[in-house]
Amino acid sequence: MVFGQIVVGPPGSGKTTYCNGMSQFLSLIGRKVAVINLDPANDSLPYECAVNIEDLVKLSDVMVEHSLGPNGGLVYCMDYLEKNIDWLEAKLEPLLKDHYLLFDFPGQVELFFLHSNAKNVIMKLIKKLNLRLTAVHLIDAHLCSDPGKYISALLLSLSTMLHLELPHINVLSKIDLIESYGKLAFNLDFYTDVQDLSHLQYHLDQDPRSAKYRKLTKELCEVIENFSLVSFSTLDIQDKESVGNLVKLIDKCNGYIFTGIEGSAVEFSKIAVGAVDWDYYRVAAVQEKYMKDDENIDDNE
């Protein structure tokens, strides 16, 4: 049984930086880690790559040969990878015995809810190689400062969760920069727990660009709330405590934490249950560390 993570998220959310930092952290705590780069547009990797899709297909060659743009080229590359899945399986075989796997996927969001190639690749690997994978979906935390962008991020997160059909964790990455583009209208737990989105309507109405889409925005918020699936963890990849808290959550999500347990259902349940102080470390401690106190923050608006 092999464990690992599927790292996805829109461009700029920090996927490659995440894979680099996560691989270093896991190595420090004693795990052998292999990073698999499946992004043919990522030509400057900061981590040591165990498997690189560029050895199979190069985006630049695809764009020239087929007169495609970057997005079309990436769709072609994922389709080519799916048709040559045996190549990837052969590359992964030597790593299965004792490695924890990190898959670094492209940032083009259409690959994960408009096309099925990336999902097909993941599902074939899970079935053929008996992998236990968690999807880690990164969203740049500064999007919380813009209500419209935050709702878009929620919709993207929900669509990705439904499409991938994997154990799934949404993460507000770069949490140390959360207020770099402006103060948040609410406390951090409003955004991590995806509380009553109707409270965002007032702030959306203040922006002329958003006000004219009021009805559409309201309907989208209702869709998100009706599914009741989206919530966020937080991450500062430079902070060991922050990374460690996320690793604990991922290990529960894909079952890694249970592999060394030989006992009763009671012992399993003790490990599965959330820590009493989990919400403090996930939200309250993060807010204290990265967000400035402001008497004008309205918790009850």
Residue 71 lies in a domain: yes
Does the structure show a pLDDT above 70 at 279? no
Residues, the chain? 301
CB 13 within 8 A of CB 139: yes
- pLDDT of 157 higher than 70: yes
Give the least confident one: 74-88, 110-124, 193-207, 240-254: 193-207
pLDDT value, residue 297: 45
In sequence order, the 6+-apart residues with CB closer than 8 A to the CB of 159 are 112, 113
Q: Note whether residue 282 is domain-resident.
A: yes
Mean pLDDT in residue range 157-171 = 94
The pLDDT assigned to 276 comes to: 46
Give a yes or no: residue 39 inside a domain. Answer: yes
Q: Give the per-residue pLDDT at 48.
A: 92
Model confidence at 268: pLDDT above 60: no
Q: How many domains are there within the chain?
A: 1
The pLDDT value recorded for residue 284 is 76
* pLDDT tens column, 180-223: 888 888 999 999 999 889 888 888 877 777 777 888 888 999 99
217: left (phi over 0), alpha (psi -120 to 50) or beta: alpha
Least confident of 5-19, 52-66, 95-109, 254-268: 254-268
Find the mean pLDDT for residues 93-112. 93
pLDDT at 262 over 90: no
Q: Give the integer Cα–Cα distance in Å for 79 and 118.
A: 8
pLDDT in tens, 113-152: 788 999 999 999 999 999 999 999 999 999 999 988 999 9
Q: Work out the average pLDDT over 84-99.
A: 96
Residue 126 domain-assigned?
yes
Per-residue tokens: 64: 């020239």
CA distance 217 to 264: 48
Residue 242 has pLDDT above 90, yes or no: yes
Q: Calculate mean pLDDT across residues 82-106.
A: 96
Whether 220 is in a domain gets the answer no
Note down the domain range covering 128: 2-194+230-290
Q: Which two tokens stand for residue 205?
A: 């109405």
pTM comes to 0.89
Q: Is the pLDDT of residue 47 over 50?
A: yes
Is the predicted pLDDT of residue 173 greater than 80, yes or no? yes
In-domain check, residue 114: yes
Domain CATH number, residue 251: 3.40.50.300
Residue 225 lies in a domain: no
Which pLDDT belongs to residue 153?
Answer: 95
Distances (CA, A) of 292 to 177, 182, 187, 286, 296: 12, 11, 11, 11, 11
Query: Looking at the predicted structure, is the pLDDT value of residue 260 above 70?
Result: no
Task: Kindly indicate the confidence band of residue 175, based on its pLDDT and cuts at 50, 70 and 90.
Answer: very high
Kindly state whether residue 205 falls inside one of the protein's structural domains.
no
Res. 261 pLDDT band, cuts 50 70 90: low
